[in-house]
Structure 1
């Protein structure tokens, strides 16, 4: 529902009942991820998408039937077949599980608070029961990321507490996910499937080194939704005018700033100075922290020299194995802009635990992670790559 929160918030304020269809399961290749929603109001207005077009008509009809007949929440599966691929199937060959429920603003007042928080850009999690006992289907718990507390909900106390804990955990990782609960006498005798919609704070990209490459990387990072900080100890270079796409420009020693700034497992640290007096202290600090990515710019020779200095500074081999250096994927990048694409591509591949190899050289579903290649695929690709002049 996060993809259409603005419209849903407006419909709530009018108030206007609507049917909400949400992707709650994906098998094989599918164009859109868990939690993506389409909504239809009583006048037939539709907003959002769940498949990029190939099953929208069937889901739209299902939403209208639910609104017209006041039916109960339900799940439907849409998959590919030779007979109906262009009618109600996915042309990409995957399968979608879709949960559809009627939303009446008066019946879920706490959802209004959640939608308002999402629209305002506040960290928010909404746990939605999408499978289980009929009397619990569609019920929700809203967790405010600012204080990790549950807001109003209509669930039994023990179940509400467990859902809140799940929502809090996923909120901290910034990930929407389907979780399984229940099956016990305390929370719920029957098993439940709960989709936790998460709108987390923006992940951080910390760029150390106020150089031309940093200007291009800050623009690419912001485009991908990162909150970008450029930091350098030299005030003549670290100015907002030189980095208009950065959210903040900090004049400080990189290692000192890194040691005092908030970060998490989604944080990307990019060291672009290739100057040992900056690189070694900040990399020693970064490699000891639970961040998601640490990369450093420099030639092979610079990298080898840097590794020796880091070992002398007490950095362990296990920590050094986390370092991406030279930074970026092999795209043949030359300009700062091309290099920025190379770096953010590696950050994405690291975050999603994928190979960074061409999709044409791999087998299996495109949208399934991790997508590590079979050994023969990898061997063939590398052999072809190395054989090129």
Structure 2
């Protein structure tokens, strides 16, 4: 899965060398799809390609469309769909349907009143300040862009003040959940109309995993969390155990009492807390403070007996039933994990399931959608079949 931030250097290199460039972005999917919304691929006028949007012959077709967008200077919204039985032949092996927005990029162009360097800089700094990049992909002012920050600043415009306000409001909701999706509006931002389509792509701060306890399981959890795109902090007061040498993948090593650190650091809805200490003198103060934060996930390691004893101590410490119920303990999903690596999978799977609002059960045990269907295509959009 390739997102915009990963190919910015290639795009800028081509542009500074004087080459024309087109960008293709997956803006919508229906059914199973080989790539998520927000996947990107850039094409230079020389036919060089960076990134990926499908992995099959859809990409060959999009390369041709990208070269056409460069030659004509006109963006285009394309829809590719195939029948399940033809999926293996054409590349969309899941039999799904994707919409791809293709646009030419020019370094000196204002990109509809929003300069390209400003867009690139905002994307690069999204780890410090979350942004949503809103692009009109169909209708009036196609290609127009607006950046909305997490403190509700706006840069650029989409065509009308009313539309900008409505899209900015929706973009704030996208930022809070890290979403990427297409939305349909009237010319002046009216809901339930399809005069134009806007792709809202949130570039949110990295989710933060705080691991309390420099124990054997910690490195495996840290490594896996980094693979999944988390910023990882390890906190433990034991300086001989909590070292960069033991945990080279960690973004931050904090040698301090966990309860002190938790009281002085920022914890928000993008933060997950894993308490691996399974030692009352550490984990009780941590958990008492943790449940009073807006952390998205709080998990604590320990046997069922240790968990039951901990619950009694938490009650004695004054925690309510609702506060105690915020703690997932024993930590992780029931997958029979034994080794540190397996335990890390169990914990991260539970964090992902909770973030997604899923139970973590087996897919074949229910008929729920594998991927949440947030939006459907505009029914007026023609589907291009590749068979």
Please report the TM-score for the alignment, with normalisation by the length of structure 1: 0.83
Is residue 74 from structure 1 mapped to residue 80 from structure 2 by the alignment? no
CA shift in 2, pair 1:309/1:239, >3 Å: same
How far residue 12 of structure 1 moved from its aligned partner, in angstroms, is: 3.4
Q: Distance in 2 between matches of 1:330 and 1:198?
A: 32
Within-5 A mapping of 1:317-332: 317-332=321-336
**Aligned equivalents of 1:175, 1:82: Cα separation in 2:** 27
Q: 1:125 offset after TM fit, Å? A: 3.0
Question: Per-residue displacement from partner, 1:209-239 (whole Å, max 9, x unpaired)?
Answer: 1212222222222222211111123344333
User: Residues 90 and 337 from structure 1, CA distance in 2 versus in 1: closer, same or farther, beyond 3 angstroms?
Assistant: closer
In structure 1, what is the Cα distance between the partners aligned to 2:373 and 2:277? 33
Structure 1: segments with no counterpart, 5+ residues: 371-389
Q: Is the 8 A contact 2:106 2:116 kept in 1?
A: no
- Equivalent of residue 264 in structure 1, options 264, 268, 275: 268
Cα deviation 1:129-167 (Å, max 9, x = unaligned): 123x3x31111113466x753334574444344444444
- Cα deviation, residue 361, structure 1: 4.2
Alignment partner, residue 253 of structure 2: 249
1:265/1:54 Cα in 2 relative to 1: closer, same or farther (>3 Å)?
A: farther
Displacement of 1:128: 0.9
How many residues of Structure 1 are paired with residues of Structure 2 in the alignment?
366
Contact preservation (8 Å) 2:84, 2:93: no
Q: 2:67 aligns with which of 31, 45, 64?
A: 64
Between the aligned partners of 2:206 and 2:360, the Cα distance in structure 1 is 23
Residue 205 of structure 1 deviates from its aligned partner by 0.6
1:142 corresponds in structure 2 to: 147
Task: Note the 1:176-255 alignment, pairs <5 A.
Answer: 176-182=180-186, 184=188, 191-255=195-259
TM-aligned CA distance change 1:118 to 1:14, over 3 Å: farther
- Give the conservation status (yes or no) of the 8 Å contact 2:278–2:301: yes
Give 1:181 deviation, angstroms: 4.4
Distance, in Å, in 1 between the alignment partners of 2:49 and 2:16 is 17
The aligned counterpart of 2:13 is 10
* C-alpha distance in 1 between matches for 2:253 and 2:78: 49
Distance 1:190 1:332, change over 3 A: closer
The correspondence for 2:279, drawn from 275, 279, 289, is 275
CA RMSD in angstroms comes to: 3.0
Q: Gaps spanning 5+ residues in structure 2: where?
A: 375-387
Aligned to 2:137: 130
Cα deviation, 1:245-277, whole Å, max 9, x if unaligned, reads 221121222222112211221211000111222
- SS, match of residue 39 in structure 1: strand
Match of 1:44 among 47, 51, 70: 47
Residues 110 and 116 in structure 2, CA contact (< 8 A), matched pair in contact too: no
CA distance in 2, matches of 1:150, 1:182: 20
Q: Take 1:319 and 1:157, find their aligned partners in 2: how far apart are those partners?
A: 44
Deviations 1:174-219 (CA, angstroms, capped at 9, x unpaired): 33333444454899x9754322222222211111112122222222
Q: Is the 8 A contact 1:353 1:369 kept in 2?
A: no
Aligned in 2, Cα 1:351/1:260: closer, same or farther, shift over 3 Å? same
| Offset of residue 90 of structure 1 | 2.1
Say if 1:81 and 1:89, in contact at 8 Å, map to a contact too: no
Change (3 A) 1:361 1:54: farther
TM-score (norm 2): 0.83
Distance apart, 1:308 and its partner CA? 1.6
Query: Is 2:185–2:195's contact at 8 Å kept on the other side of the alignment?
Result: yes
Q: Does the alignment pair 1:303 with 2:273?
A: no
- CA displacement at 1:32 relative to structure 2: 0.9
Match of 1:111 among 106, 116, 122: 116
Determine the C-alpha separation between the residues in 2 that align with 1:38 and 1:286. 41
CA contact (8 A) 1:8 1:115 kept: no
